[in-house]
Structure 1
Amino acid sequence: MGGTLRVGIVGAGKISGQYGATLSRLPGLAVTAVADLDPERARALADQHPGARVATLPELLAADDVDVVLNLTTPAGHAAVALAAIAAGKHVYGEKPLAAESADGLAIAEAAAAAGVRAACAPDTVLGTGVQTARAALESGAIGTALAATAFMTVPGHERWHPDPEFYYQRGGGPLLDMGPYYLTTLVHLLGPVRRVAGMSSRPRNERTIADGPRAGTSFPVDVDSHVTGLLEHEGGALTTMIMSFDIWATRLPYIEVYGSSGSLSVPDPNRFAGDVRLHPAAAEHWTTLEPSAGYAGAGRGVGLLDLSQALSEDRPHRTGVDVALHVLDVMESMQASAYSGSSVTVTTTCRRPERVDGVIELT
């Protein structure tokens, strides 16, 4: 497929602003329609893109000038919108997680394969210079054989800054399903898929209070565990220790570190596209910062759609494939199952490790 990839956006909530800002400056992409339950929000987003119009969901799905549906609904709505887009013959790119449950994620993957369309899923932060430079260092043998890793996401909770945070604490949310995709997708890119997990989790508070915005002071129930810790065994043998938490006020823990037979590698925040990659060879006295050597420079949320567009043109797999997203969802569900059962769980899915971005690609 050549030419411009025409994008229809479903969901004009908070994250849509970041996508909109990126899509407006990337080549070969054009937003043509926006649908949202709130017409005013849809209009505000459409106005950022010359020629874009407000549409109902059925109108957007039936439109001839929409090639791919960008699904920015809340997690509970991901599967329904994705399946409807696929049924309409559209490619689909969704926010993470792929779905609220693995069964729905599998349905998306199978429907896309049967329809001959592409299904893709965030995060695309893994395509930035941070994770891609770290991967290039690993593949160059900079720390020898990867033996272990740590991954930590520890914050006090999204209700401190988000005006409508309830969905983060409902089915499909929590620190694991909300932030876990960034960390687990990064770990898949660096160390490959996961074959076994062991997890524990807790819910220290059954109620949260919104701290900012017009609804400040409003309390709401917590329906999911808000602190999750686990161990991951990768298919290549490396072991990862992981903590995902909405219950930690402050920390000095790293984001992700990988430990090898001849050194250590510090990986920047996987929720961002760039950041310092630091290397500590076994014989060195200090950490050194690596120059970016791979990935999209100047990227923002939505660069995965650029990769999808190019993959369609080049007839190659896209790097935000549904197989990775489904595997990540399965890993997270397996961690939850392990936490509830008290036993380790074998992960039933696997995935293709996406190709590394070749060199640094500058985006203006």
Structure 2
Amino acid sequence: MGKPLDTDKPLKVGIIGCGAIIAQYLSNFRRLDAIELVAVADLDFARAQAVADSYEGVRALSVDELLAADDVELVLNLTIPAAHGPIALKAIAAGKSVYGEKPLAATTAEAKQVLDAAREAGVVVGCAPDTVLGTGIQTARKAIDDGLIGSPISASATMVTSGHERWHPNPDFYYQPGGGPLLDMGPYYVSALVTLLGPVVSVIGAASHTRPERVIGSGPRKGEVIPVNIDSHVTGVLVHASGALSTLFMSFDAVSTKSANIEVHGSLGTLAVPDPNHFDGDVELFALGADSWQTLPVSAGYVDSGRGFGIADLAATAPGSEPRAGGQLAYHALEVMESVLASAHNGSAVSIKSTVARPEPVELAALAIEVPVGGVQGISS
């Protein structure tokens, strides 16, 4: 049985997985008094040692040693998506709380095992994206809650890129089951839509597969042809419990777009919401009867935030309460995405079995302290 997290002292964190994304977490951990990093682990011990050498007071361990460490209260799971569920289950079995990169697990069935195990063990589950806690999404949420657009009617969420193989040296996993534009980028957009408009009750989807192969555009494998075994262009309509309708447009096929990443339409106005893959950005309002767009002042969210702020927020969450970037939201978003793909293949609307309380809003706050510029050295992807 895990111990309740003590919100009055720094949360002691161990990281499993020392790939490229860890640098962003380490940079922000240095700025957050609520977090104390104590250990790191990776299947490649040299990568873990490089991180430990760059961060005072951190020791490099094997995965099993980190899971057994008495001073690790929460495991930050930065492994590949296929390992998210298995590593989370091992951490929970060791009595530790877990915060993972998105998605919560490879499938909703596996994600349910994680949540059930955590409930039984009395530990906490959190999950990226924590971008929803930044000033961009939270200022948009406050505008909706304050009635600036009247009654919400609909939203659109758009993510367009011609393909990650143009820049990623090893893009294979994006084009295999578990990858694709929806499962890769959808967690940011679906989590933002639920934060803004509440849970989803049903979906309908359509998808296409336009090219059977892709050509790697950079790195040592430049010119190599890789197969595409996923839907590379996905659209979906989400029906929220509130009655609002959201339209998803996620593509690895199209070239570009001039649309806002997210727009929310209401009876009294429309909001242009910034990129949900970022923590900040301008929120713009076109009010009924206005002549032009108005940029709203920043009014909510964690200021100057970044990856890892969800863990600091979790550390401050009262025992027994669900974190804002919590496992329940991550599970709901995963079910929504799986269901859009299922609907695209069977041609019928799919009801969403799970629900989640709309996370509590984040008041305008600064959690981080200033640190000298210099970055994290010695960490490779």
Q: Given the two structures, how large is their TM-score scaled by the length of structure 2?
A: 0.93
- Alignment partner of 1:338 is 2:307: no
- Alignment partner of 1:355 is 2:380: no
1:43-58 correspondence to structure 2 within 5 Å: 43-58=49-64
The gaps in structure 1 that reach 5 residues or longer are: none
The structure-2 alpha-carbon separation of the partners of 1:114 and 1:362, relative to structure 1 and needing over 3 Å to count, comes to: closer
Shift of 1:206: 2.0
- Contact 2:154–2:246 (CA<8 Å) still a contact in 1? yes
Match of 2:324 in 1: 319
Shift of 1:153: 0.5
Instruction: Count how many residue pairs are aligned between Structure 1 and Structure 2.
Output: 363
CA RMSD of aligned residues (A): 1.3
Give deviations 1:318-344, integer Å, cap 9, x for gaps. Answer: 111111111100000110110000111
Give deviations 1:287-334, integer Å, cap 9, x for gaps. Answer: 10011100011111111010011115x764311111111110000011
2:16 to 10, 22, 27: 10
1:36 to 12, 32, 42: 42
Q: Given the two structures, how large is their TM-score scaled by the length of structure 1?
A: 0.97
| Distance (Å, rounded) in 2 between the aligned partners of 1:37 and 1:321 | 27
Match of 1:119 in 2: 125
- Alignment partner of 1:70 is 2:63: no
Match of 1:233 in 2: 239
The structure-2 alpha-carbon separation of the partners of 1:360 and 1:286, relative to structure 1 and needing over 3 Å to count, comes to: farther
- Contact 2:303–2:364 (CA<8 Å) still a contact in 1? no
Shift of 1:165: 1.9
2:65 to 59, 68, 93: 59
- Contact 1:100–1:171 (CA<8 Å) still a contact in 2? no
| Distance (Å, rounded) in 1 between the aligned partners of 2:114 and 2:367 | 32
- Alignment partner of 1:186 is 2:192: yes
Which amino acid counterpart does residue 234 of structure 1 have in structure 2? Answer: H
Report SS of the residue matched to 2:243. coil
Report SS of the residue matched to 1:295. coil
- Alignment partner of 1:265 is 2:271: yes
- Contact 1:144–1:263 (CA<8 Å) still a contact in 2? yes
Shift of 1:361: 2.8
| Distance (Å, rounded) in 1 between the aligned partners of 2:61 and 2:212 | 39
Report SS of the residue matched to 1:296. coil
Match of 1:220 in 2: 226
- Contact 1:257–1:267 (CA<8 Å) still a contact in 2? yes
Report SS of the residue matched to 2:344. helix
Shift of 1:140: 0.2
Give deviations 1:36-86, integer Å, cap 9, x for gaps. Answer: 122222222222321111111110000011111000111111100000000
The gaps in structure 2 that reach 5 residues or longer are: 1-5, 370-381
Shift of 1:203: 1.5
| Distance (Å, rounded) in 2 between the aligned partners of 1:67 and 1:297 | 26
| Distance (Å, rounded) in 2 between the aligned partners of 1:37 and 1:218 | 27
1:196-215 correspondence to structure 2 within 5 Å: 196-215=202-221
